[in-house]
Structure 1
Amino acid sequence: MKEMCYWCGRDATSKEHVPPKCLFPEEKDIKSIYKETFRRSLITVPSCDEHNLAKSHDDEYLMVCLGGRVGNNGIAYIHTNTKIKRAIERNSKLIHTQGEDEISISGKRFPVLLVHIDTYRLMRSFESIARALVFHEFSFRYQGRCQVISDIFFSPKDFKSTNFQAKSAQMLSRERKRWTTENKGDNPRIFTYQFSNLDAFGTFTVALTFYEETVIYVIMSLLDNGTYPQNGKIIKIINRPISK
């Protein structure tokens, strides 16, 4: 298992960082404020070139979209004004800017950019992270479908989809309070993750939290994967025994 790609099962040729390493600020960008390093104890999984090197542009796009989101912590703000700013200056087409505006927070005005986001591209990145975490935690290659849910996905032209995402995210947030599993991550101000218990339908969810405020839920199913919990490693995912 350790020599196969976490996603497709082909021979692994490299190690994929989970989540992408670029989401973690470099020490040179934060050392004047934070006297610590955030690029430590990073998770890696075996990967083929297609599911690692070939998607480096998607990793950079994910970094720009997540780091620059209003409401994240101070580390994300610094990251936006250093590494992310440099990335946009190198490639002006990296993000599609629609205009500028200002927002008010605690009586203070802050300039913001209005941007058009490729939702499906982001969902693909979150799916990749979820699949990699399943492999990392349980030595199990998930092969089924993923449903990505978050209230960050907003479209003024598609109210039905936006409403579904918002309501689903609220429901999962309430359910998460009843999860009995551990919230993990050695760099909690950058990224944490938590697996739910398996439900009666063979479905489980992983919650991905970036910069303490941006939460993404990825719903996965063992039954959809064509795999049933019949051995110890799979049962570890669910934290309770399940009959065949």
Structure 2
Amino acid sequence: MKKIKQQCYWCGKQATSREHVPPRCLFPTDKDVGALFKQSFRSELITVPSCDEHNSLKSGEDEYLMACLTAKVGNNFLAYAHTQTKLKRSLQLHKNLLDVEEKLNIMINEREFPVSIINVDVPRLSYSFEAIARALFFHEFRIQLKGRCVVASDMFLSPDASASESNQYFLNGITMIQKEQSNWNTPIKGKNPLVFTYQFSPVDEFGSQTLALKFYEQTDIYVCIGDMIKLKPYKKEFDVASKMLGLRK
């Protein structure tokens, strides 16, 4: 056990630091939101051993993930507070952090809120969610995830996405996972539920399972973890699903 703790959660190389899972930048500081919420959101955070490549060298990816998640319309008030503090400072320092297509105002409960429509870099976000999934797998089971990951979320689709075959396949897949999730009977974990919770499904007969991630109480991400040895007879179908969803192999 001592030896495995010295290995990077993702690649198995010598660990040089510990990575926060999810990235710590998703958790607001007391300085920014303490007066509003009267609690700390940076206590009892999960960490895993990591090499430089899978921690410090991807800090830019963590910031992009934070920007996309906190700015998503429909999240809780904590996410909104985060956009007015941490995200606002990040955008001042990095003008091109988000690819803004259009700015407009929307009405929510008779109040007007400024919003921006952004073009999401799906492969970039998929990489970040895969990193979270692999780190949580290591945290839960104390072994490195050797299989493949397919990441799915409706946040990858634009609000006016046409009802194309690929989009319908994508949404049908998410709906199927959501229906199955109610029967998982596994614990929902996360010490800061206003920011993040996660739940692993039971392992199926192919040695595969799904990880459900929830951010700011409203944004759901699903990571399907495939044991490619046991799934070898179904590799073609797995590849087709990955391609249809436009996700990482």
Question: Shift in Å at residue 159 of structure 1?
Answer: 3.4
Alignment of 1:218-237 (within 5 A): 218-224=223-229
CA RMSD of aligned residues (A): 1.6
Determine whether 1:80 maps to 2:83: yes
Cα gap change, 1:140 to 1:58, in 2 (>3 Å): same
SS in 2 for 1:60: helix
Report the counterpart of residue 113 of structure 1 in structure 2.
116
Question: Shift in Å at residue 224 of structure 1?
Answer: 4.2
Given that 1:143 and 1:225 are in contact with CA atoms closer than 8 Å, whether structure 2 keeps it comes out as no
* Count, aligned residues: 226
Which blocks of at least 5 consecutive residues in structure 2 are unaligned? 232-249
Cα gap change, 1:180 to 1:87, in 2 (>3 Å): same
Moved over 4 A (4+): 223-226
Which blocks of at least 5 consecutive residues in structure 1 are unaligned? 227-244
Return the alpha-carbon distance in structure 1 between the equivalents of residues 162 and 91 of structure 2: 27
Return the alpha-carbon distance in structure 2 between the equivalents of residues 71 and 7 of structure 1: 32
Return the alpha-carbon distance in structure 2 between the equivalents of residues 157 and 169 of structure 1: 17
Return the alpha-carbon distance in structure 2 between the equivalents of residues 58 and 217 of structure 1: 19
Report the counterpart of residue 179 of structure 1 in structure 2.
184
Structure 2 letter corresponding to 1:143: K
Report the counterpart of residue 58 of structure 2 in structure 1.
55
**More helix, by proportion:** 2
Q: TM-score, normalised by structure 1?
A: 0.89
Structure 2 letter corresponding to 1:36: Q
Return the alpha-carbon distance in structure 1 between the equivalents of residues 166 and 24 of structure 2: 31
Q: 1:200 aligns with which of 202, 205, 217?
A: 205
Return the alpha-carbon distance in structure 1 between the equivalents of residues 230 and 11 of structure 2: 13
SS in 1 for 2:101: strand
Report the counterpart of residue 217 of structure 2 in structure 1.
212
Alignment of 1:118-157 (within 5 A): 118-155=121-158, 156=161
Determine whether 1:13 maps to 2:13: no
Question: Shift in Å at residue 137 of structure 1?
Answer: 0.4
Given that 1:134 and 1:140 are in contact with CA atoms closer than 8 Å, whether structure 2 keeps it comes out as yes
Cα gap change, 1:178 to 1:50, in 2 (>3 Å): same
Return the alpha-carbon distance in structure 1 between the equivalents of residues 102 and 7 of structure 2: 44
Determine whether 1:100 maps to 2:97: no
